[in-house]
Structure 1
Amino acid sequence: MSTVFLRRPLTAAIALSLLCPLPALSTEKAAEDKPQQTTRYSLDTVVVQGRRSLREDVITDQKSRAVIEQEMVRDTRDLVRYTTDVGISDSGRHLKGFAIRGVEGNRVGISVDGVSLPDFEENSLYSRYGNFNSSRMSIDPELVRAISIVKGADAFSGGSGALGGRVDYRTLEASDIVRAGNETGFLLRSGYASKNREWVNGFAVGYAGDAFETLLMYSHRHGHEMDSRGEGPYYQYDKSQHPDPSRRKQDSYLAKLRWHISPEHSLSLALTGQRARNFTDERSYTLFGSQWREAEDISRRSNLQLGYAWLPESDWLASLKLDGDYQRTDLTALNYKGGRNYTTQEKELGEVFDRRMHTRFKRLTFGLETLPLALGASQHTLAFKAFAANREFWNINYDTYVLGGKPEPQPAYAIQYPVDTRQYGFSLEDRVQWNTSLSSRFGLRYDHERLTPQALNAPCSKACTAEGRPAGNTFGNWNGLASVVAKLNAHWALGATVSTGYRVPTASEMYFTFQNAYGSWKSNPDLRAERSINYSLSLQGEGEAGGVNISLYQVNYRDFLFEQESITRTRNPYYEQCQAWGCAEYNESPVQQMVNLDRARIRGLEFSSHLNLAHYWPQLEGWKLSAQLGYSQGSLSSDNSLLSIQPLKGILGLDYHAPSGRWAVFARGTYLGAKKADDAQVVQNVYSYRNRTFSQVVKTYPYLNRRAALLDIYGYVRAGERFTFRAGVYNIFNRKYHTWDALRGINAHYGASTTNSVDREGYGLERFHAPGRNFSLSMEYLF
């Protein structure tokens, strides 16, 4: 046993930090408990900064504003850097959200202040060529006060899309800027990250008076492509060993106003938005000959929220709220393509593809919550919510061909029918405090959604109108959760949860059509919603010595949407004339269609712990040891593997906080496990030129990551009460490694993909390496 631990110091350290608090937790007297330790297991959750909270619904990793600043979170990659069992959906130019509990992309919900960000609309035809902006939108972390990463099905809170989990962002309030005892506050912040040579600058102004609260914040960032530790002599086409050069720019804003009309009544107004541009010289673009492409991805988002709240002096009613939400999003991809001059090799523009996806969302929500109501010996806090919403989606494209140096704009067109979605639903919730040791939560929610294709907003080619205007579809989904938290003693609590999730198919999955002799895509208006059910069991301990969290879970998925490829055979009408030359009697062509086919099951465990070393050695005041581990495995009912399941990940932390509170330093060692071949099987239809037929084979995904160990060190120094300087060095030992998220996003269609692809020899894998040693700096002045 000791030999194994010497060979595996990470395992030993994790075990030490996990086990050391146990004796102290079991021997401390209940009389010595602090009030906050008691309420931690009560019905109302107390959020501990940067740690997991044991809630009555699902396991949630909370990141407060302090943790976001401390870890210098600048994007979604930074957000999951020190979080286990959570990854990102990476497809090169475009990030498509998160991967949680074995699912990714649209199967993980994302919301900003309670408003869900739209699913990305994409099909496998256009994803191979990169002519559309298929990004999943996010929000600048500079505008965020808290982030909740919910692990497990949670349609009760998140609605459609929270199949495997959700990520909720909460924007800043005036109280985050205004210091205690003041009415006004100002914030100036600037930062730099070497991994993508990005600068972030922002300011905020806040006012918090008796009658009004206001906040105005602006953030600007500009940078370049993500760096890579890869190296080599090749810079062009899918053989390129270096990241495609890019220039990024993003402007974000946040404005809030709250009017306290009286102690009982208030009105609120919030406006937030962003505009981002990313111009990429796609040197890795591969079509034929010396063809080239430069792409500019543009995203715009604007949210408007109006709210009314009534907090009456009542014996039973705690609050009544009415909210209105409006959201507009635009995703644009401008693609500049052409060849090269035969003699000078200079680029010559041949065409410009302007492809745009738009959504518009409107919602009205009514909610009320009661005070705790006595029913026998138990206390019940009831909540009711009802909503009605409308979502519109449409596509419009503007192409220009350059002939003899002269631009020739083409008529606008669409690739599919616009879709209008009407939604309404309600939810009921009961939080129960049975006694001082036992609490529970029960919830029931119904969502009704009707998707209706509209008349074409622009001409569409015969390839997309061959099936005619498709029929609409209606989805009615009941979801719920049931959970219980038992406080075993003054320091330990046990929680169990059953929750469900669902996802309604996107407009592209249901209605996209395309017909071609070399491959077709058929619509399927009869698709069913994907469903999931999550079971979790959690044990949590908290005391003066430290804390421990252990979670076991299983998630069952059914009616998984899968793009099924079938082969159609049509007799060659010229067979009699050409059979002497060996032509095939039948022509075979692949047909793609989304179907509800697979079932899946994911099982896993997570644990985290932190140990206050001063509890055992008083001379180590301010030192803390922490550890996290996440592991999951799963299977599909078909021969495919769920590639979005994260490999093993472990994190070991050592922190020091100076007793003065003026400075602190944090060290994080991260172990990234390798993806095993048995867990990365894919089914492909392979064409045989000898037999002139397709056959189905099961292969190992060609790009698997190796295990890696990384070390980061970061910290902060405060000069007075107003100025804070932060710095961090990441991948200190300059380790060369791939992440599984980067590799599984590669387009593995040899010869059939022009973007985010790799040559057959594998030289192009070099550009997918993670950044080498890099640093971040941040300066903040709050006054």
Structure 2
Amino acid sequence: MTAVGFAQQTDGQSVTELDEVVVTVGRQTQMQSEASAPVSVVDREEITRRQARSIDDLLRDAPGVTISGGPRRDALMPTIRGLSDGRVVVRLDGARQNLQIRHRGQTFLDPTLLQRVEVLRGPASTLFGSGAIGGVVDFRTLDAQQFLAPGEVLGGRLLAGYQSNADEGVGGLTLAGQRGDLGLLGALTRSQSDNFVDGDGVEEPFSASDTLSGLLKASWRPAGPHRLSASYLDYADDSPSRTTADRPRGDAVRRLTRQRTAALNYGFQPVEGNLWDLEATLYRTELSLDERQLEVPGRSQAELATSGLDVFNISRLSLLGIEHQLTYGIELYRDDQTGLEDGQPDPGFASSRQETLGAFLQDRIVLGTRTALTLGLRHDRISQRAERAGEAESRFREWSPQATLSYRLFDGLRAFASYAEAFRAPNLRELFVAGEHFPGNTYLPNPDLQPERAHNKELGLSYLRSGLWGDGDRLRGQLSLFRNDIEDFIEQIVRGDSGDPPNTTRFENVEDARLRGVELSLDYEHPAYRLGLSGSLLRGDDEGDDTPLEGIPADRVTLSGAWKLPGRAMEAGARISFVARQDRLPPTTDPDAAGPAPGHVVTDVFINAALSSALDMQLRMDNVLDRSYRRATNLVNSPGRNLRVQLAYRF
């Protein structure tokens, strides 16, 4: 996954930029090549090149990352190393996105409003608390200072796009202004699409969408140590769907999805002194799902509000001649969920509350010019309770240690070994769900659920070398081998007539799980072309009965390349994804289980061109050969051939 600019236009001349990629998802601003954990980045230019319309477009090439639940957009959720559904922390401008309802997505946004995305793969509870068993996805929205060119006071962009498969139209307007230290940006996008068709020409019902998204962001960056920003992001999707949006069957509904995220961020970084590099974020996320039955009378409503405060500081010290970089802080947030069924309390999404307080400390110790040791520890206190009378309250206290040793083998090549523990507290629905699951089967609450606990061992290499075979070129690579052992894995257990108790469904801690795998990414960048390779192999097993885990993605290798056409501000390229057959599946009685997913090869081609100094065009065709395929983590076929075109006019 490349994350650097390929070419920019300056006074009519094409120049190449191959600056080192900076990452912040680990709470430390550092060079990607120096990070002692596998991190993938998608920047603004790459988002535009992909004509990204969903998180699938954003994250599909990151090794170890898949998007499960799709391809309907209201069911998409990130899966890292086979873990999803609350086992990945998702943040938007620093605000946690904590919705967890089976058969639905976790977060909703329009990629055209994003500045960048960072993905941290592997357990990260030491810095991010509950849920970071699989990793962290961090979304950052557009900013006026980054949107405008240096010295530009006012500017804007008109965006128009079209996709042939679902007859989707996209339009957007962004306006930004910068006056002295103050910046203001506003953006609005609208998209409408019909149902898509798969490679066999079969239309997928309830896959249409109608979305409206808006962003307001103000920033203040004086010359001194202070910086302040405030953002408000609003997303609405009013579309037909199914009650089980990730499945081929389910009741037809009209679902209004609304997500609003407000964040206030303050930073303090004096030019002189190493004791302060402070960042504080105050936020609130409100997400609501309003479903109206289309075939029979009925209405259900689910709302989740997350309010939080995240504060941390970085201090750089020298003690006895040894350099220390201390990262320490607190995280406080509260989830309030409410469910209604035809105007009455819905036991399937019980009104309940979770409060979390976490404190963490991490010390990066520099031992000479080649070696660094990172030690970290976090403590979380979590309380959860339902509002209905007589419901017991659940309380958890969890410690999350982590240790990483990194060593620079030679110039450009760094090795690391790490051990990290992470946890996921059972969510409110798993603890307190009740009522009917399906006719003849009833949910049972389980307030005695215990948190899932992960123990991850990992070895990795990172490589960065410029000027390798010519002026201005660069080779960057990452390799990771890991084993993640998870205790008290939580699963939904459905029991029939012979069950104990019979005809019930309950979330329970089952046997331990083990995930192990390897991830690889290589990117070569040259002033005239770029090449990419990424791949991942993952195995997951239930250690109790030695059966495969559910939801493990297939082995995958992706090749990509782009060539700049001589004398033109244009590049053309292709992407080929090779996906193996996935038949390592657990036994199941699920009537919708799709069985093994056949292997497949999908080819995309694209052209990106600057038609003038103000007008850019992106043209691509996905699934050129119109293959019919289904991802192993999905129950519905993916779209067939799709022609995409996008025009962006800067003014």
Check whether TM > 0.5: yes
1:426-441 to 2 correspondence within 5 Å? 426-441=359-374
Distance 1:626 1:121, change over 3 A: closer
- Please name the residue that 1:353 is paired with: 298
Give the conservation status (yes or no) of the 8 Å contact 1:88–1:95.
no
Give the conservation status (yes or no) of the 8 Å contact 1:110–1:117.
yes
Give the conservation status (yes or no) of the 8 Å contact 1:97–1:106.
no
Quick one: which of 394, 398, 415 aligns to 2:347?
415
Q: How far apart are the structure 1 equivalents of 2:262 and 2:570?
A: 39
- Please name the residue that 1:70 is paired with: 49
Matched, 1:111 2:88: no
Matched, 1:484 2:405: yes
Q: How far apart are the structure 1 equivalents of 2:18 and 2:159?
A: 36
- Please name the residue that 1:268 is paired with: 229
Give the conservation status (yes or no) of the 8 Å contact 1:54–1:60.
no
Matched, 1:671 2:578: yes
Q: How far apart are the structure 1 equivalents of 2:615 and 2:479?
A: 38
Q: How far apart are the structure 2 equivalents of 1:661 and 1:45?
A: 34
Give the conservation status (yes or no) of the 8 Å contact 1:177–1:187.
no
Q: How far apart are the structure 2 equivalents of 1:735 and 1:246?
A: 19
Deviation readout 1:528-553 (Å, 9 max, x if unpaired) = 11111222211223322434432211
- Please name the residue that 2:164 is paired with: 194
Q: How far apart are the structure 1 equivalents of 2:532 and 2:195?
A: 33
Comparing both structures, which one devotes a greater share of its residues to helix?
A: 1
Aligned residue for 1:445, secondary structure, equals strand
- Please name the residue that 1:17 is paired with: none
Shift of residue 415, structure 1, vs aligned partner: 2.3
Q: How far apart are the structure 1 equivalents of 2:544 and 2:288?
A: 36
Deviation readout 1:624-679 (Å, 9 max, x if unpaired) = 43322211112112444212211111112222124657111121111011112xx1
2:182 aligned partner, one-letter code? F
Distance 1:38 1:469, change over 3 A: closer
Matched, 1:557 2:486: yes
Give the conservation status (yes or no) of the 8 Å contact 2:354–2:428.
no
Shift of residue 264, structure 1, vs aligned partner: 3.0
2:368 aligned partner, one-letter code? N
Distance 1:505 1:205, change over 3 A: same
Shift of residue 107, structure 1, vs aligned partner: 1.6
Give the conservation status (yes or no) of the 8 Å contact 1:261–1:267.
no
Quick one: which of 66, 72, 76 aligns to 1:87?
66
Matched, 1:258 2:216: no
Deviation readout 1:249-297 (Å, 9 max, x if unpaired) = 1111111112346623344322111111112499x9999xxxx964211
Q: How far apart are the structure 1 equivalents of 2:463 and 2:395?
A: 46
State the percentage of identical aligned residues.
20
Deviation readout 1:132-170 (Å, 9 max, x if unpaired) = xx3322211011111112221112333222211222111
Deviation readout 1:159-209 (Å, 9 max, x if unpaired) = 222211222111111123211221222111111122322222111111223
Aligned residue for 1:741, secondary structure, equals coil
Quick one: which of 291, 314, 337 aligns to 1:369?
314
Shift of residue 568, structure 1, vs aligned partner: 6.7
Give the conservation status (yes or no) of the 8 Å contact 2:353–2:385.
yes
Size of the alignment, in residue pairs?
A: 619
Distance 1:180 1:647, change over 3 A: same
2:447 aligned partner, one-letter code? P
Shift of residue 681, structure 1, vs aligned partner: 2.2
Shift of residue 623, structure 1, vs aligned partner: 3.3
Give the conservation status (yes or no) of the 8 Å contact 2:71–2:638.
no
1:415 aligned partner, one-letter code? P
Q: How far apart are the structure 1 equivalents of 2:421 and 2:290?
A: 34
Quick one: which of 616, 629, 632 aligns to 2:538?
632
2:110 aligned partner, one-letter code? D
Bigger relative contact order (CA 8 A; separation at least 6): 1
Matched, 1:317 2:275: yes
Shift of residue 113, structure 1, vs aligned partner: 1.2
1:498-647 to 2 correspondence within 5 Å? 498-514=419-435, 518-543=440-465, 544-545=468-469, 546-566=475-495, 589-611=502-524, 622-639=528-545, 640-647=547-554
Matched, 1:709 2:577: no
Deviation readout 1:696-717 (Å, 9 max, x if unpaired) = xxxx965222111122111211
Give the conservation status (yes or no) of the 8 Å contact 2:454–2:485.
yes
Q: How far apart are the structure 1 equivalents of 2:602 and 2:115?
A: 28
Give the conservation status (yes or no) of the 8 Å contact 1:119–1:506.
no
- Please name the residue that 2:380 is paired with: 447
Aligned residue for 2:61, secondary structure, equals coil
Distance 1:380 1:243, change over 3 A: same
Give me the CA root mean square deviation. 3.1
Q: How far apart are the structure 1 equivalents of 2:122 and 2:630?
A: 27
Distance 1:37 1:654, change over 3 A: closer
- Please name the residue that 1:307 is paired with: 265
Shift of residue 434, structure 1, vs aligned partner: 2.5
Alignment gaps of 5+ in structure 1: 1-33, 48-52, 128-133, 232-240, 338-350, 399-410, 456-467, 571-586, 615-620, 687-699, 744-767
Aligned residue for 2:610, secondary structure, equals strand
Q: How far apart are the structure 2 equivalents of 1:267 and 1:631?
A: 42
Q: How far apart are the structure 2 equivalents of 1:609 and 1:267?
A: 36
- Please name the residue that 1:185 is paired with: 155
Distance 1:321 1:152, change over 3 A: closer
Deviation readout 1:749-779 (Å, 9 max, x if unpaired) = xxxxxxxxxxxxxxxxxxx432222111111
- Please name the residue that 1:342 is paired with: none
1:481 aligned partner, one-letter code? Q
Aligned residue for 2:550, secondary structure, equals coil
Q: How far apart are the structure 1 equivalents of 2:625 and 2:177?
A: 45
Aligned residue for 1:740, secondary structure, equals coil
Q: How far apart are the structure 1 equivalents of 2:336 and 2:187?
A: 29
Give the conservation status (yes or no) of the 8 Å contact 1:121–1:506.
no
Q: How far apart are the structure 2 equivalents of 1:513 and 1:426?
A: 33
Aligned residue for 1:527, secondary structure, equals coil
1:664 aligned partner, one-letter code? E
1:332-347 to 2 correspondence within 5 Å? 332-337=290-295
